[in-house]
Amino acid sequence: MNIHYLNDYESLSKQAADIVEQEASKKSNLLFCAATGNSPTGMYAEMAKKPSVFGNMTIVKMDEWGIIPLEHPDSCETYIQTHILGPLHIPEARYITFDTASEKVDQECDRMENYIQEQGPMDVIILGLGKNGHIAFNEPGEFLETGFHKNLLEPATIQHDPNLAKGSEPAYGLCIGMQGIMQSKKVIFLITGKGKQEAIQQILERRITTYCPATFLWMHPNVDCLIDMSSLGQ
């Protein structure tokens, strides 16, 4: 893992966008697995300044909340439409998405895993860091799932949105599995935000554990890890 320390979020966002641009210069039709949330928002904003550079990519949605509908303003679907597809002028035909409705979970997981294995590996995958060390919705535990799967979400993951706890069943998410992440050709790992110091410390210790899924990125041969210095709490 190549670790880069950046002074602030703006610097992290610009460098991350530059890395994606470098990859797009080598292959304009990247298969691009997109994270959502605060960590990559600045990067997408930087990319939107050069839509012609990134407009040939195929976007694969990495994960999605269960319980809330896709049209909910807090869904990953809404985020991707707002921050990626629209600004980069990417047509729906080059957007690979899925539904998390409970009656469709098994079918959608199988469909997405088949797509990843048939069309992949991902050329670029963007990852953020959860406060508990998760990547995508691969939560800490005794074991990690290989393929695209449903995962029950930890309290630390859902606490930012009370809507996620209002369903008739425990909050869950669907996400790419560890195999899909580890097979990706290029990982851009963005570490920013408050309350992540413990997870960051575990990563920097270079001890690989299922109780901090992000530590598995040490086994990937091509990871650029960008750390916003303000997230270290120093």
The alpha carbon dihedral of 143, 147, 153, 159 has a sign of positive
pLDDT digits (tens, 9 = 90+) for 79-122: 999 999 999 999 999 999 999 998 999 999 999 999 999 999 99
Q: Output the pLDDT for position 110.
A: 98
Q: 3-state class of 214 per DSSP?
A: helix
- What is the four-CA torsion angle of 220, 135, 124, 49, rounded to 10 degrees? -140
Residue 100 phi, psi (nearest 5)? -105, 10
Average pLDDT over residues 4-18: 97
Would you tell me the crossing angle of helices 9-26 and 38-47 to the nearest 10 degrees? 60
pLDDT digits (tens, 9 = 90+) for 159-200: 766 666 666 677 899 999 999 999 999 999 999 999 999 999
Q: Output the pLDDT for position 156.
A: 81
Q: How far apart are CA 52 and CA 80, in angstroms?
A: 18
Q: How far apart are CA 25 and CA 167, in angstroms?
A: 44
pLDDT bin (cut points 50, 70, 90) of residue 155 is confident
pLDDT at 31 over 60: yes
Q: Output the pLDDT for position 33.
A: 98
Tell me which H or E stretch contains 95.
strand 95-96
* Structure letter (DSSP) for residue 135: B
Tokens, residue 109: 């997981």
Kindly list the distances between the CA atom of residue 206 and the CA atoms of 80, 212, 219, 222, 224, in Å, as whole numbers in the listed order: 32, 11, 10, 16, 15
Tokens, residue 104: 């469709």
pLDDT at 234 over 60: no
Q: Please give the class, per CATH, of domain 2-196+216-225.
A: alpha beta
16 Cβ partners below 8 Å, 6+ apart? 40, 42, 43, 46, 126, 188, 190, 226
Average pLDDT over residues 133-141: 97
Q: Output the pLDDT for position 2.
A: 97
Q: Output the pLDDT for position 68.
A: 87
Active site residues: 63, 132, 134, 139
pLDDT digits (tens, 9 = 90+) for 44-91: 999 999 999 999 999 999 999 998 899 999 999 999 999 999 999 999
> 20 near 50, Cβ under 8 Å?
no
Determine if the peptide bond prior to 121 is cis (ω within 30°).
yes
> 66 near 100, Cβ under 8 Å?
yes
Q: Output the pLDDT for position 159.
A: 76
